[in-house]
Amino acid sequence: MRNTPYDIQYSSHMIFPLSPKLGIDLGTTTVLVFVPNKGIVLNEPSVVAVSQSDNKILAVGNEAKEMVGRTPDEIIAYRPMKDGVIADYRVTEAMLRYYIKKSLGKWNLFRPEVMISVPAGVSSTERRAVVEAATKAGAREAYVVKEPILAAIGAGIPIHEARGHMIVDIGGGTTDVAVISLGGIVASISVKCAGNALDHAITDYLKKNSNLGIGEKMAEEIKIQIGSATPIDEELTMTVKGRDYLTGLPRSIELGTNEVVRSIGRELRTVVNAIKDVLQETPPELAADIIDNGIIMTGGSSLLRNFPELVFRRTGVRARVAKDAPFCVAKGTGEALKHLDAYKKAIITKR
């Protein structure tokens, strides 16, 4: 059954014209906050540092990310979001409160209306948890919208048309693939394989093949600097520093692009298979539209070199990366908030 347009779930029917509006892309690795008419006002990692002895939150965002892998035993720096959903409710609420305050500034007197993105495959319980965390963190109203819809709006796709558009949103924790027509999702799939899975694959590859232990940051750096979805003739190389598993001493090696391609091959196949599965579920008329329009890729991990080329080779459908791909979901929340009152009754289901 086709979902209602925009698939928004929200907390009450009251409208407060003076409330500031915030769009939040609550990602597994990054939180982006969009304010209508201002743009993206905050772009920070979804990392929180907690003191174990007194269960106190010490740092959030950039400050906490600096601590990852570098903390003493009594301090843990970790991500309260896992695979696009809340893994630690209390810490997520504290993180949201911090980001809402930071985005609005200390002189703001009104509680904001907040729109938050969630992966296409989340359950109603997980959606409710996001709404409740936002409300307790200081939001007057909280709306939850599926990421593919917001990514499509942010990428400038005219989703109200009676035409099929395929969006592939590859973030940190999840990859959402959806076919959208007439403002609703016709076919979709959400897989827990995205940027973080690529980082883990690189870490595992170096452990097995070079006996080298590297941290989260180094794995991400390798992916960004020399990573590719397909082998290339003129390889890029970089010096990778870590700890030798055999001697326990620091060591560095030279790593080339094609080795990185080999290390992440299985994860990329998972993403491509998800795209194929959705294409197989798509009605023929919409499939014809997708051949004409191509596949639009959004999210930070879609920036991996030659990713559209890999999708084209495996599916036969042209693919392209949207402009400002990492920010499409956040921009989509901003656009949806701007026109919220116009179609509020049509698109909102009560919590």
Per-residue model confidence as pLDDT tens digits over 151-194: 999 999 988 889 999 999 999 999 999 999 988 899 999 999 99
Question: What is the rounded CA–CA span in Å between residue 189 and residue 103?
Answer: 32
Q: For the chain, give every residue range classified as CATH 3.90.640.10.
A: 196-263
User: Which pLDDT belongs to residue 6?
Assistant: 47
Note the pLDDT of residue 18. Answer: 62
Look at residues 229, 206, 228, 231 and name the one whose alpha carbon lies nearest to residue 216. 206
138: alpha, beta or left? (left if phi > 0; alpha if psi -120 to 50):
left
Does the domain at 158-193+265-323 match CATH 1.10.260.40? Answer given as no
Chain region(s) in the chain for CATH 3.30.420.40: 5-43+89-151+328-350, 158-193+265-323
The candidate with the shortest Cα–Cα distance to 230, out of 282, 275, 268, is 268
Structure-block tokens of residue 131: 């709404």
Neighbours of 16 (CB within 10 A): 12
User: Which residues is 141 bridged to in the sheet?
Assistant: 113
By mean pLDDT, which of 13-27, 115-129, 229-243, 288-302 is the weakest? 13-27
Q: The whole model's pTM is what?
A: 0.87
Q: Is the pLDDT of residue 112 over 70?
A: yes
Q: What is the pLDDT of residues 8-24, one digit of tens each?
A: 444 444 444 567 889 99
* 5-43+89-151+328-350 has CATH 3.40.50.2000 classification: no
Matching residue, tokens 């990778």: 240
CA 136 to mean position of chain CA atoms = 23
C-alpha 171/C-alpha 30 separation (Å) is: 9
Which homologous superfamily is 196-263 in? ATPase, substrate binding domain, subdomain 4 (3.90.640.10)
